[in-house]
Amino acid sequence: MLKTTSQRLISSQASTTLRRAPANKTPSRAPQPVGQAPYPLPTSSRGVERRRLDDMHHGIARYLKRLTYAPLNNPTRILELGSGTGAWSVEAAETFPSAEVVAADMSPLPETLNVPPNLTFKQMNFLDPFAFHPGSFDVVHMRFVMIHLPNPDVYIHRLASLLRPGGWLLLEDVNHTLLDANRPVGPGVQALYRGYREYMHKQGVDPQVGAQLKNMLERSKEFSEVKEVVIPCYMNPRSTEDPALQDLGEILKYSIDGVYVGIMEKVGPAGGITPEILRGWRREVNDPERDLRIDMHLTWSKKL
């Protein structure tokens, strides 16, 4: 029998699926070539970038005290697009041990990750057609990835197509803009954002997508419920008396700093971001007189 294009894609990609190997065998997670993607950060599964992403995940998890605000009811298939270090996928697999969790990213999972038996990995570029059957997941999670994808409005339909009716899309991102409650943001922050935004726009992506997620999801008409929580991440611990928000703000500050150090090689010269601009940004972010924050937008939407 002739296979359809999507069946061929699915069977050809199945060979890249990594299952947990028997205890004495290390699974091969050698990087494989994927198409070009406008992603300016270093590979997520190694070194400083891995540590940054893991610390950020654990900081967010400490704050949320849950995997998601969505009322998940014994999901059987969960997909994480942009699994990075695998931290969220592992947590999902441990929270729902009878569910099958699929982590997908262009970067392989870290070699040393302890992969639960119900977690598999697929290497892919999200700009290519998905190698999954439409409507085959109860949950699709994507955090800090939409900000790197062109045409997010269109992309939401691609994500929705992966869900069964009643399934949940968990879309989470920051709005990549520091806001100062007291006064205009300083020249360092302004210069850094100008360069970063220009670079991102040239790549066809929008670093301010976070604040638009809810509207986009509603506009898509793919969901019966669209919910959102906006969490302010304060760069200055004096901006809030809530110790949990202070902890989250500190983690996000350190993580965003890591983003800017991480993108310097690719974005620095192209976006006109000099080390002096980065130093100015850092001074202002740590200025005790300022009240800078960045907003994290967590959405959960139920597929029609």
Ligand X SMILES: C[S@@+](CC[C@H](N)C(=O)[O-])C[C@H]1O[C@@H](n2cnc3c(N)ncnc32)[C@H](O)[C@@H]1O
Summarize as ranges the residues that interact with ligand X (CB under 6 A): 37, 39, 44, 53, 56-57, 82, 84, 105-107, 125-127, 143-145, 148
Instruction: Identify the residue whose tokens are 């005290």.
Output: 65
CA angle at 271 for the pair 270 and 274, rounded to the nearest 5°: 100
CB of 276 to ligand X, least distance (A): 26
CB of 173 to ligand X, least distance (A): 9
CA-based max dimension of the chain: 70
Nearer to ligand X, 84 or 280 (CB): 84
Nearer to ligand X, 54 or 291 (CB): 54
Question: Could you give the CA distance from residue 56 to residue 173 in angstroms, rounded to a whole number?
Answer: 13
Question: Could you give the CA distance from residue 22 to residue 19 in angstroms, rounded to a whole number?
Answer: 9
CB of 187 to ligand X, least distance (A): 27
Nearer to ligand X, 109 or 292 (CB): 109
Question: Could you give the CA distance from residue 205 to residue 152 in angstroms, rounded to a whole number?
Answer: 8
Three-state DSSP class for residue 88: helix
CA angle at 118 for the pair 113 and 120, rounded to the nearest 5°: 60
Query: Nearest residue by C-beta to ligand X?
Result: 84
Nearer to ligand X, 130 or 236 (CB): 130
Q: Beta strands of the chain (E only): which ranges? A: 77-81, 100-105, 119-123, 137-143, 163-174, 179-180, 223-234, 292-303
Nearer to ligand X, 106 or 159 (CB): 106
CB of 303 to ligand X, least distance (A): 21
What are the backbone angles phi and psi of residue 210, rounded to the nearest 5°? -50, -50
Nearer to ligand X, 94 or 276 (CB): 94
CB of 147 to ligand X, least distance (A): 8
CB of 195 to ligand X, least distance (A): 19
Nearer to ligand X, 72 or 205 (CB): 205
DSSP state of 238: G
Q: What is the dihedral of CA 172, 175, 179, 184, to 10 degrees?
A: 180
CB of 283 to ligand X, least distance (A): 25
- What are the CA-CA distances from residue 154 to residues 49, 165, 167, 176, 224 (Å)? 29, 19, 19, 20, 18
